[in-house]
């Protein structure tokens, strides 16, 4: 006679195996769909007027201006070595993208974390799904990761840390000022914590002096934000090299270069309206924020726990630390989220990728010391509240991961759907079936069975 307990146990494990197999299949299909889209994007042609290429064309040919350092370096090589500008930018961005992917995959595997969260649209899949991997976003992480690593090296003197951290930070801030929003505040806190035993005033002073070169570089980008004349001079400087007919720069025709000519008032109003007051398919973008932020936060804080192999890999303490980092980084990026940009999918990437980089690199004990007790209580209450609304099981998280999508710019429903995991799995599977001429085979079989009757 079969033991009923043994039978139930076997059924349980069979169900678990089926669920795990389906999850693995979905994960692999999603990765293949990303690879398929990425391959197509690599061989896509980007014009000089595109945001992808024009972001790298901003240089100092019209005078010192924000975001111009990488463009000035590119301008030097283009002028003296006759390089292909588009492919140089694409190869450079590809190297940055691969480097960031390697870091996160290796770090996750080393810590024993599940990889399921990584390809999602608000993490590493951002660039592929939004067709924005040819931007400076992955370059930011290529600098942020070494900066955190240098800070954490105990055997390095403070002078060496001061030099290397500021050199790296200044270079990337002069390439794009948004880096300062998610990098400088957390560095300041880490330094403050290191010296807080010397008194609040002294620790604040030392931390500020340590980061002063980087802060000064950031202030320069705010002061020299550019104008219409600067944008026109930059645009004209590339026409001789690119052998193109010069044109008048307006609000849009030179994309990232033309954005230098935007007034602060116009830019703030434009981004605020797009972020909160835009309406698409009769849906207000503000309502989408109210749904998207909690869902992305919920997935980010619970996925590693739900898919952990054993309880020793991640504890509630780790969850509180990760949650605290996520909330802190979100607060630091709030000006960018509200007034300085409306590139939703890219902003979520800054938020999630920078938070996880901090969580993976900075020792747990150092981060734990940064979290005030009242803030830790608030985080635990928030997490408990979300768990009571929706308990973080594997099935729940998988469903959320399948259907959560973030629009490229402001809220556009079609764009959000296009960036979901389920859409890409179905789209890729359909493409493969069509290429294999499955449609013709199915119709032949259908006709065969009709003839039988």
State the total domains in the chain.
1
Q: Per-residue confidence at 437, pLDDT binned at 50, 70, 90?
A: low
Residue 448 scores a pLDDT above 70: no
% of residues, the chain, pLDDT over 70: 91
What span, in angstroms and rounded, lies between the C-alpha atoms of 358 and 184?
A: 12
What span, in angstroms and rounded, lies between the C-alpha atoms of 209 and 211?
A: 5
**Model confidence pLDDT, tens digit, residues 388-426:** 998 988 889 999 999 999 999 889 999 999 999 999 999
Residue 5 scores a pLDDT above 50: yes
> What's the whole-number mean pLDDT along residues 273-280?
91
Please state which of the ranges 198-207, 230-239, 247-256, 300-309 shows the lowest mean pLDDT. 247-256
**Model confidence pLDDT, tens digit, residues 335-353:** 999 998 989 999 999 999 9
Q: Is residue 7 part of a domain?
A: no
Q: Per-residue confidence at 161, pLDDT binned at 50, 70, 90?
A: very high
Q: Is residue 11 part of a domain?
A: no
> What's the whole-number mean pLDDT along residues 37-41?
90
> What's the whole-number mean pLDDT along residues 17-45?
87
**Model confidence pLDDT, tens digit, residues 100-138:** 999 999 999 999 899 999 999 999 999 999 888 999 999
Q: What is the pLDDT of residue 12?
A: 46
**Model confidence pLDDT, tens digit, residues 177-208:** 999 999 999 999 999 988 877 778 888 999 99
Domain range holding 306? 20-235+251-452
Q: Per-residue confidence at 23, pLDDT binned at 50, 70, 90?
A: confident
Q: Is residue 333 part of a domain?
A: yes
Q: Is residue 125 part of a domain?
A: yes
Q: What is the CA radius of gyration of the chain?
A: 25
Q: Is residue 8 part of a domain?
A: no
Q: Chain-wide mean pLDDT for the chain? A: 88
> What's the whole-number mean pLDDT along residues 28-44?
91
Residue 36 scores a pLDDT above 50: yes
Please state which of the ranges 128-132, 146-150, 198-202, 277-281 shows the lowest mean pLDDT. 198-202
Residue 45 scores a pLDDT above 50: yes
Q: Per-residue confidence at 4, pLDDT binned at 50, 70, 90?
A: low
pTM for this model (two decimals): 0.90
Q: What is the pLDDT of residue 244?
A: 62
Q: Is residue 241 part of a domain?
A: no
Q: Per-residue confidence at 312, pLDDT binned at 50, 70, 90?
A: confident
Residue 453 scores a pLDDT above 60: no
Residue 371 scores a pLDDT above 90: no
Number of C-beta neighbours around residue 389 at 10 A: 9
Residue 281 scores a pLDDT above 70: yes
Q: Is residue 6 part of a domain?
A: no
Residue 6 scores a pLDDT above 60: no
Q: What is the pLDDT of residue 195?
A: 81
What span, in angstroms and rounded, lies between the C-alpha atoms of 89 and 71?
A: 10
Q: Is residue 428 part of a domain?
A: yes
Q: Which residue has the tokens 């990761």?
A: 145
Q: What is the pLDDT of residue 386?
A: 92
């Amino acid at each position: 006679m079969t033991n009923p307990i043994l039978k139930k146990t076997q059924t349980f494990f069979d169900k678990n195996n089926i669920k795990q197999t389906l999850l693995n299949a979905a994960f692999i299909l999603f990765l293949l769909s990303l690879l398929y889209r990425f391959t197509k994007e690599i061989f896509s042609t980007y014009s000089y007027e595109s945001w992808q290429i024009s972001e790298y064309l901003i240089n100092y040919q019209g005078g010192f201006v924000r975001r111009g350092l990488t463009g000035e370096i590119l301008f030097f090589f283009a002028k003296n070595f006759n390089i292909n500008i588009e492919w140089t930018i694409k190869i450079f961005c590809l190297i940055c993208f691969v480097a960031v992917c390697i870091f996160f995959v290796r770090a996750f595997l080393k810590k024993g974390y599940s990889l399921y969260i990584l390809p999602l649209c608000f993490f590493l899949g951002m660039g592929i799904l939004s067709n924005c991997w040819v931007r400076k976003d992955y370059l930011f992480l290529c600098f942020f990761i070494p900066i955190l690593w240098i800070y954490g090296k105990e055997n390095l003197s403070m002078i060496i840390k001061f030099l290397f951290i500021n050199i790296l930070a200044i270079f990337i801030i002069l390439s794009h000022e948004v880096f300062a929003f998610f990098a400088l505040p957390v560095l300041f806190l880490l330094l403050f914590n290191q010296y807080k035993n010397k008194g609040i005033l002294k620790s604040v002073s030392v931390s500020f002096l340590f980061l002063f070169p980087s802060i000064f570089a950031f202030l320069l980008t705010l002061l020299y934000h550019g104008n219409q004349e600067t944008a026109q001079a930059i645009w004209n400087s590339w026409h001789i090299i690119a052998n193109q007919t010069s044109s008048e720069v307006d609000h849009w025709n030179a994309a990232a270069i033309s954005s230098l000519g935007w007034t602060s008032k116009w830019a703030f109003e434009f981004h605020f309206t797009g972020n909160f007051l835009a309406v698409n398919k009769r849906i207000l973008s503000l309502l989408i924020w109210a749904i998207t932020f909690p869902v992305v936060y919920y997935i980010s804080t619970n996925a590693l726990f739900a898919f952990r192999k054993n309880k020793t890999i991640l504890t509630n303490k780790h969850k509180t630390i990760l949650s605290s980092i996520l909330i802190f980084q979100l607060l630091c990026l709030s000006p960018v989220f509200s007034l300085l940009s409306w590139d939703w999918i890219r902003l979520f990437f800054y938020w999630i990728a920078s938070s996880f980089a901090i969580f993976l690199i900075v020792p747990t004990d150092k981060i734990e010391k940064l979290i005030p007790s009242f803030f830790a209580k608030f985080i635990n209450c928030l997490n408990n509240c979300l768990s009571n609304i929706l308990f973080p099981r594997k099935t729940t998280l998988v469903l959320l991961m399948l259907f959560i999508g973030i629009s490229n710019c402001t809220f556009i429903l079609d764009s959000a759907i296009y960036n979901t995991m389920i859409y890409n799995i179905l789209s890729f599977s359909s493409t493969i079936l069509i290429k294999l001429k499955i449609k013709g085979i199915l119709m032949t079989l259908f006709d065969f069975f009709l003839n039988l009757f």
